[in-house]
Amino acid sequence: QVQLVQSGAEVKKPGASVKVSCKASGYTFTSYGISWVRQAPGQGLEWMGWISAYNGNTNYAQKLQGRVTMTTDTSTSTAYMELRSLRSDDTAVYYCARGGQLDAFDYWGQGTLVTVSS
Amino acid sequence: DIQMTQSPSSLSASVGDRVTITCRASQGISNYLAWYQQKPGKVPKLLIYAASTLQSGVPSRFSGSGSGTDFTLTISSLQPEDVATYYCQKYNSGFGQGTKVEIK
């Protein structure tokens, strides 16, 4: 069965970086993209961007351009999302999901809480 | 960027009621639209893709329609387990702000 398993919770100081991983299993990793979505406490879903697991092409939300980098490691079927220059309003649950460019998100990771606090 | 606007932001209805949520795109997006359900404290779940195709395993009381800029999610007979926040999303782009559905 398809599974996306994310790395554990992180606590970071303002200005630091965080890198969240998303390990996929149960399907051919390079046949689908991986998207990242975050949700601040009590808020709605915010799309962060997408990466093709086939060729590494990316599409980032304009708001995060310059601070976010999405990568994949096809040898381990793992996607990564790195967010730099963290601020308190980056505190959120970060989700990876399968799909993105021309399809919906049919499978989701369990979420990773990133807390930014001094 | 294409903006997605949902209405209403919240609603309260009785069990068995027909519930309709609308989503408007700031420009035409063909049928590249999905609907998600998120229950409190849970991971979002795909309900509808390609504007009107029901995801496998989703109850048939959920349906979607629309194309271009205007879309609708309908719950034909609201059930207690449908209490959740519903989001529309244009593929590879942002989400609507969400519609919180409660039981009256």
**Which candidate in B55, B92, B97, B99 is best for mutational testing of the A interface (most A CBs within 10 A)?**
B92
Name the average pLDDT for chain A: 97
pLDDT band, very low/low/confident/very high, at B34 (cuts 50, 70, 90): very high
Any alpha helices (H) in chain A, and if so which ranges?
Answer: none
Chain A hits for B50, CB-CB cut-off 8 Å, are 104
Kindly determine whether residue A95 and residue B36, on different chains, have CB atoms separated by under 8 Å: no
Q: Does B86 touch chain A (CB under 8 A)?
A: no
Q: Which residue of A has its CA nearest to B44?
A: A108
Tell me which of A2, A6, A37, A45 to substitute to probe the interface with B (most B C-beta atoms closer than 10 Å): A45
User: What's the pLDDT band for B80 if we cut at 50, 70, 90?
Assistant: very high
A57 contacts chain B (CB < 8 A): no
Question: What is the pLDDT at residue A12?
Answer: 98
Q: How many angstroms separate the CA atoms of B13 and B19, rounded?
A: 7
Confidence of residue A102 (pLDDT cuts 50, 70, 90): confident
Question: What pLDDT, on the 0 to 100 scale, is given for residue A19?
Answer: 98
Report the distance separating Cα B100 and Cα B96, nearest Å.
12
pLDDT in tens, A31-87: 999 999 999 999 999 999 999 999 999 999 999 999 999 999 999 999 999 999 999
**Average pLDDT of A12-25?**
98
pLDDT value of position A101: 80
A20 touches B62 (CB < 8 A): no
Average pLDDT, integer, range B65-89? 98
Q: Is the Cβ pair A110, B32 closer than 8 Å? A: no
8 Å CB contact of A45 and B89: yes
Phi, psi of B17 (to 5 degrees): -70, 155
A76 exposure class (CB count in 10 Å sphere: 0-12, 13-18, 19+): exposed
pLDDT beyond 90 at A100: no
Q: How confident is the model at residue A26 (pLDDT cuts 50, 70, 90)?
A: very high
Question: Å from A39 to nearest chain B CA?
Answer: 10
Query: Of B21, B3, B1, B7, whose CA–CA distance to B69 is shortest?
Result: B3
Question: Would the CB atoms of A103 and B55 count as touching at under 8 Å?
Answer: no
Distance CA A89, CA B30 (A): 33
Phi, psi of A9 (to 5 degrees): -60, 150
Q: How far is A94 from chain B (nearest CA, A)?
A: 11
Binary contact (A44, B1; C-beta < 8 A):
no
